[in-house]
Amino acid sequence: MKNKLLISVILILAFLIRVVNLENIPPNLHADEASFIINTASIIESGRDEDNRFLPIYLYSIKDFKPALYSYLQIPGFIILGISTFTSRIPAVIFGVISLLLIYLLVDEIFDDKKIALISLILLSISPWHIAISRATQEVIMAFTFCLWGFLLLFRIIKYFEENQKIPILKISLMTFANLLAMYSYHSYKIFIPAVFLTTLVYLYISSPRSSKNQIKISGLILASFLLPFIITFAGAMVRFSAIGLLSNDLPKAIIFEYTTLITGRAPIWFIRAFYNKPVFYFRTFLQNYFSHFTGSFLFLHGGKTARYLVPDQGWLHLIEIPLLATGLVVLIRKKKKKLAQIFLAAVLFASPIAASLTTEDIPSSDRPFQAVIFYTVITALGIRLILNITRKPIRTFLLSIVLIGYGWCFGYFFNQYYNLMPIYKQHHRSQDYQLLAKAIVDVQDDYDRVIVSNDLRELYIYLWFENQIELSALRKVPLERYEDQYQVGKYIFNRNQCDFSDAKKDDLLVGSSSCSVKSERELSRLKQTYFADGEEAHSLYVLN
């Protein structure tokens, strides 16, 4: 009873940490967040997304292929409380809190130790990584929660495997459903979940002295539980991978060309081709990406390159966790009766960065390998559990005091960086320019016939909708035009070319970068300038001289 009460208190506090000032922090609405909101509003209004597709499974907003589930989950909040930043983010907060409960249940299932499970719950509730991910309108935390659910069911099913008992079909069905939701929700889980499940399954077979018919049946069902969702969601992953996949990066090709050109004549052609070829250099790029997710800078000092999650000079793990991780790793290795836990956690760690490493965007990534937080949380919990097991009270008290003081300082530092500094630090990464620009346009646009937007500010149409300047019905009428180099909605014309106002007239309002007055072929006068919160120039409004 006391344990349940303590868990409830921790979950309530974790909810408050994630919900406080949710409307304003993280600051502004990132374009990805805004795209979910506009599609949710469109579905509420007409049953169709902004591209005029009826009850879509996937969204193609701003040319970013993503699952529509998050938009559907926003619908109740939008209907009850209205459309706002808060109501758009609250589903992520709820998923974040659910994932905390699931990590407790999972760790308890793996180690059969409620203290380790409780410590893991506390650590994840104050994790900078988890807090940052669960306070944004993103599908990452949603997929993470479904993944934890699938892992929990996996370990409960493994007991049937080990005891050679008949497996309830409901459990395997729920596990398949959880895996399907996780893989559907976020593309990186299409690699992560099969890798972890397959590694665990192989270990079970190797460690089992002999496989009975029932064990073979259970293994087949476990195999199907992640292969079937993978097949169902594979097409969606390929669409996204074609846009940001490693093979779309031309840098390895350029390096091969440069090296080959320099060395030609100094070595035989066959010798040159053996070393300077695409498989070798793309694999090297993959390894470089992969290992960047294990550096101290990424984990403890600066975090990843996914700018919208950037917390200034804050790693994704607390500094106090460095010695605790080392201690916990030793504890795990010495647990000879927990080989399955060792294999599972190793698979979680090493499989987490694979999907991110196969892309060209934001390396090291903050969101694609987020599931690695499972490993770091559990290992740290094992380190703290070892301290609790020390029999000599003075030593135990001294070490626990250091841990508590260390966590207090680290969390205080994170709190300051996240809640005080981040709202004014480099806000161009969080689409603040779109919000500022939309408001600036609304202030002066009545005096002009058209508004011409250059510099590929294509997401601006969403923020103009927020300002009640564009109707959803108008967007649904021209769904394909928004993916062309130039398109028009009402009086707004959008093009990709920087400072391209070649078709502008005297009665047009022109929108572009602050350097357009120099770069444009037309003579421009700056009408208005927008600035980020830190004083940096954002964009300008111009008119023809």
**Is residue 334 pLDDT above 60, yes or no?**
yes
Nearest to 182 by CA among 219, 228, 126: 228
Please give the domain boundaries of the chain with CATH numbers for all domains.
Answer: 2-244+286-423 (no CATH), 247-276 (no CATH), 431-544 (3.40.190)
**Is residue 239 pLDDT above 60, yes or no?**
no
pTM of the model: 0.92
Would you state the pLDDT for residue 220?
Answer: 74
Instruction: Give me 103's structure tokens.
Output: 């990590």
Residue 193 pLDDT class (50, 70, 90 cuts): very high
Say which residue, 395 or 482, is predicted with more confidence: 395
**Is residue 500 pLDDT above 90, yes or no?**
no
Say which residue, 528 or 204, is predicted with more confidence: 528
347-378 burial, b for 16+ CB within 10 Å, e for fewer? bbbbbbbbbbbbbbebbbbbbbbbbbbbbbbb
Lowest mean pLDDT among 324-333, 377-386, 517-526: 517-526
Mean pLDDT of 242-271: 82
Mapped onto helix, strand or coil, the DSSP state of residue 147 is helix
Nearest to 123 by CA among 382, 413, 388, 390: 382
Mean pLDDT of 54-68: 85
Mean model confidence pLDDT for the chain:
90
Contact residues for 525 (Cβ-Cβ < 8 A; gap 6+): 517, 542, 543, 544, 545
Residue 519 pLDDT class (50, 70, 90 cuts): confident
Would you state the pLDDT for residue 369?
Answer: 96
Mapped onto helix, strand or coil, the DSSP state of residue 487 is strand
**Is residue 47 pLDDT above 90, yes or no?**
yes
Fill in the DSSP letter of residue 318: -
Mean pLDDT of 69-97: 96
Strand 537-544: give its sheet, edge to edge. 486-489, 492-495, 450-453, 508-513, 537-544, 524-531
Residue 211 pLDDT class (50, 70, 90 cuts): low
Tell how far CA 24 is from the center of its chain: 19
Burial class from Cβ neighbours inside 10 Å (0-12, 13-18, 19+) for residue 121 reads buried
Residue 244 pLDDT class (50, 70, 90 cuts): low
Taking a C-beta distance cutoff of 8 angstroms, is the pair 509, 451 a contact? Answer: yes
**Is residue 241 pLDDT above 80, yes or no?**
no
Mapped onto helix, strand or coil, the DSSP state of residue 414 is helix
Taking a C-beta distance cutoff of 8 angstroms, is the pair 183, 229 a contact? Answer: yes
Residue 245 pLDDT class (50, 70, 90 cuts): low
Residue 64 pLDDT class (50, 70, 90 cuts): confident
Question: How far apart are the C-alpha atoms of 217 and 70, rounded to whole Å?
Answer: 35
Q: Which single residue is written with the structure tokens 């470089």?
A: 288
Would you state the pLDDT for residue 457?
Answer: 82
Would you state the pLDDT for residue 229?
Answer: 76
Which conformational region is residue 378 in: left (phi greater than 0), alpha (psi within -120 to 50 degrees), or beta? alpha
Question: How far apart are the C-alpha atoms of 236 and 183, rounded to whole Å?
Answer: 10
Instruction: Give me 373's structure tokens.
Output: 């937080």
**Is residue 234 pLDDT above 70, yes or no?**
no
**Is residue 216 pLDDT above 70, yes or no?**
no
Question: How far apart are the C-alpha atoms of 218 and 328, rounded to whole Å?
Answer: 32
- The 10s digit of each residue's pLDDT in 88-135 is 999 999 999 999 999 999 999 999 999 999 999 999 999 999 999 999
Fill in the DSSP letter of residue 68: S
**Is residue 458 pLDDT above 70, yes or no?**
yes
**Is residue 395 pLDDT above 60, yes or no?**
yes
Would you state the pLDDT for residue 50?
Answer: 94
Residue 322 pLDDT class (50, 70, 90 cuts): very high
Instruction: Give me 485's structure tokens.
Output: 């180099």
Nearest to 150 by CA among 379, 317, 348: 348
Tell how far CA 128 is from the center of its chain: 14
Residue 265 pLDDT class (50, 70, 90 cuts): confident
How many residues comprise the chain? 545
Q: Which single residue is written with the structure tokens 């408001």?
A: 439
Say which residue, 470 or 306, is predicted with more confidence: 470
Taking CA atoms, 425 is separated from 26, 387, 418, in Å, by: 11, 39, 10
Taking a C-beta distance cutoff of 8 angstroms, is the pair 148, 102 a contact? Answer: yes
Question: How far apart are the C-alpha atoms of 125 and 130, rounded to whole Å?
Answer: 7
Lowest mean pLDDT among 66-75, 429-438, 467-476: 429-438
Question: How far apart are the C-alpha atoms of 277 and 260, rounded to whole Å?
Answer: 9
Would you state the pLDDT for residue 213?
Answer: 59
Rounded to 10 degrees, the C-alpha dihedral 511/513/515/517 comes to 0
**Is residue 202 pLDDT above 90, yes or no?**
no
